[in-house]
């Protein structure tokens, strides 16, 4: 099931609303109608959360890291980036950019409020202006809270990332993640306990932090372990190949039989490239018997069998293919096996069991 929905995009980065955010907005709208002030406050706050996330994105892009999307949750946003920065010095810069943006927005709103209050004293002018003044002041405070809250040293908060980066400068990245996640979970539990006595909202936030810390640890550990699995451990050594003179109709049959959407192309045992299902599907069915594989654009992609599955995964993802030929360093013309989505699934299971 999908839990977040796209509402737009900025600089090509999709912005999505998480279902819990929408439920919160709905609840506030119903509970406080017709007093729309709180609803208005949340809508504006949400815009500033986007500012906060875009600050992370700008820094990520500066270091050449692709931002997949921004997802907005009730207690803040998450920028999903392509890969975790390998250098701790980049990670903490990326993490701190968001809270700094929130503090900056808070400061600007505070001075704006000062300006408006001077020009329009609350007591003497229309109530609507007084409300506007309050809105700006409340938003300023909320931005300060947003910035400070995100500095809590627990995943999935920015402070958790800063904390991990500091640890990672002294130990292995996966160990740093483990410890940071551990602290995050403790924080979550502590918040729930305090919440039971003081405030219901703390319980919700505590649960959110606990789940976030666990998920982050899981993902990082799996992808770190994925980097230790070699292509040759999970590749298939048997792979059907087609010839450049094979017709497209026949190639589709080969793909059906092999249950993979792409096929190897070989000429006298020498690798020529990969012909993809997507390319063949662009040709009308009635023309497929007259065209040959050799007339199609072939993808000359490859991976070495002793490279990591994580590297292979990046290539498969980028090229949108299901089948990646593997080679030996010594014989660069001969395919020794293929990595398929089935092999990737095997690798994933292996990575999960290594801990």
- Give catalytic residues, as residue numbers: 53
Shortest approach of Zn ion to residue 52 CB, angstroms?
5
325 lines the binding site for Zn ion (CB under 5 A): no
Give whole-number Cα distances, 311 to 203, 307, 314, 317, 335, in Å.
40, 7, 5, 10, 18
- Token reading at 239: 């792979």
Q: Which residue number, 158 or 262, has a Cβ lying nearer to Zn ion?
A: 158
Q: Closest-CB residue for Zn ion?
A: 98
Which range of residues in 90-98, 184-192, 233-241, 284-292 is near Zn ion by CB under 5 A?
Answer: 90-98
Q: Which of residues 199-228 bind Zn ion (CB under 5 A)?
A: none
Q: How many CB atoms are closer than 10 A to CB 171?
A: 11
Shortest approach of Zn ion to residue 56 CB, angstroms?
6
Give whole-number Cα distances, 140 to 103, 110, 137, 242, 349, in Å.
9, 6, 5, 65, 47
98 lines the binding site for Zn ion (CB under 5 A): yes
Cβ atoms of residues 54 and 10 within 8 Å? yes
How far is 263 from 241, CA to CA, in rounded Å?
6
Shortest approach of Zn ion to residue 76 CB, angstroms?
6
Shortest approach of Zn ion to residue 337 CB, angstroms?
42
Which range of residues in 96-104, 181-189, 248-256, 284-292 is near Zn ion by CB under 5 A?
Answer: 96-104
Q: Which of residues 152-181 bind Zn ion (CB under 5 A)?
A: 158
Q: How many CB atoms are closer than 10 A to CB 263?
A: 25
Shortest approach of Zn ion to residue 116 CB, angstroms?
28
How far is 81 from 66, CA to CA, in rounded Å?
6
Q: Which residue number, 162 or 338, has a Cβ lying nearer to Zn ion?
A: 162
91 lines the binding site for Zn ion (CB under 5 A): no
Q: Which residue number, 88 or 98, has a Cβ lying nearer to Zn ion?
A: 98
Q: Which residue number, 158 or 322, has a Cβ lying nearer to Zn ion?
A: 158
How far is 253 from 174, CA to CA, in rounded Å?
44
Q: Which residue number, 158 or 307, has a Cβ lying nearer to Zn ion?
A: 158
Secondary structure (3-state) at 354: coil
Q: Which of residues 104-163 bind Zn ion (CB under 5 A)?
A: 150, 158
Q: Which of residues 266-305 bind Zn ion (CB under 5 A)?
A: none
How far is 46 from 48, CA to CA, in rounded Å?
5
- Token reading at 212: 């976030």
The residue to which tokens 């600089």 are assigned: 11
Q: Which residues here bind Zn ion, judged by CB under 5 A?
A: 98, 150, 158
């Amino acid at each position: 099931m999908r839990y977040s929905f796209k509402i737009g995009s900025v600089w090509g980065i999709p912005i999505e609303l998480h279902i819990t955010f929408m439920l919160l907005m709905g609840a506030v709208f119903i509970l406080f109608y017709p007093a729309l002030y709180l609803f208005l406050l949340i809508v504006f706050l949400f815009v500033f959360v986007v500012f906060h996330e875009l600050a992370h994105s700008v820094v990520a892009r500066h270091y050449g890291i692709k931002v997949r999307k921004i997802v907005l949750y009730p207690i803040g946003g998450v920028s999903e980036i392509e890969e975790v920065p390998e250098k701790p010095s980049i990670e903490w810069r990326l993490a701190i950019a968001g809270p700094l943006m929130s503090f900056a927005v808070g400061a600007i709103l505070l001075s704006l409020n000062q300006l408006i209050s001077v020009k329009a004293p609350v007591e003497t002018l229309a109530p609507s202006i007084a409300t506007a003044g309050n809105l700006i002041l409340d938003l300023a405070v909320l931005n300060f809270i947003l910035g400070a809250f995100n500095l809590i040293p627990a995943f999935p908060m920015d402070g958790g990332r800063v904390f991990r980066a500091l640890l990672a400068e002294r130990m292995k990245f996966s160990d740093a993640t483990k410890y940071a996640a551990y602290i995050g979970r403790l924080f979550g539990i502590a918040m729930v306990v305090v919440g039971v006595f003081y405030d219901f909202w703390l319980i919700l936030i505590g649960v959110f932090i606990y789940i976030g810390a666990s998920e982050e640890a899981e993902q990082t550990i799996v992808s770190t372990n994925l980097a230790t699995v070699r292509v040759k451990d999970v590749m298939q050594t048997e792979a059907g190949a087609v010839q450049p003179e094979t017709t497209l109709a026949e190639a589709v049959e080969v793909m059906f039989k092999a249950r993979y959407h792409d096929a190897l192309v070989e000429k006298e045992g020498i690798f020529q490239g990969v012909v993809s299902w997507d390319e063949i599907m662009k040709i009308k069915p009635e023309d497929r018997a007259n065209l040959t594989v050799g007339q199609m654009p072939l993808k000359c992609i490859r991976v070495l069998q002793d490279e990591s599955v994580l590297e292979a995964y990046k290539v498969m993802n980028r090229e949108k293919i299901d089948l990646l030929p593997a080679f030996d360093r010594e014989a660069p013309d001969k395919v020794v096996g293929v990595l398929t989505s089935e092999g990737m699934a095997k690798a994933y299971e292996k990575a999960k069991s290594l801990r």
